Amino acid sequence: MQDHLESRWHQIKGRVRELWGELTGDDVDWIAGRRERLVGLLEEKYGMTREEAEGEVDRFSKGP
């Protein structure tokens, strides 16, 4: 999943902003497709547990 996020980050970062509107453009640039960074920011900005944030990222990574 990590490779999927990193390799397609330019294509999917807009979708990340749509799903998680609390993330700023700077946040999205900093994440740069790195799963752990995205998980950490979801925990911080949305008050999710680590497990919840990982689940969100996993579902997102699998696509529609």
Q: What is the pLDDT of residue 54?
A: 97
What length does the chain have?
64
Domain limits of the chain? 2-62
Higher-pLDDT residue of 15, 62: 15
Q: What is the pLDDT of residue 3?
A: 62
Percent of the chain clearing pLDDT 70 (strictly above): 94
Mean pLDDT of the chain: 92
Structure tokens at 54: 């990982």
Q: Give the DSSP H or E segment for 44.
A: helix 35-46
Q: What is the mean pLDDT of residues 15-42?
A: 96
Confidence of residue 7 (pLDDT cuts 50, 70, 90): confident
Structure tokens at 44: 């911080």
Class of domain 2-62: mainly alpha
Question: Cβ distance 38 to 31 under 8 Å?
Answer: yes
Percent of the chain clearing pLDDT 90 (strictly above): 78
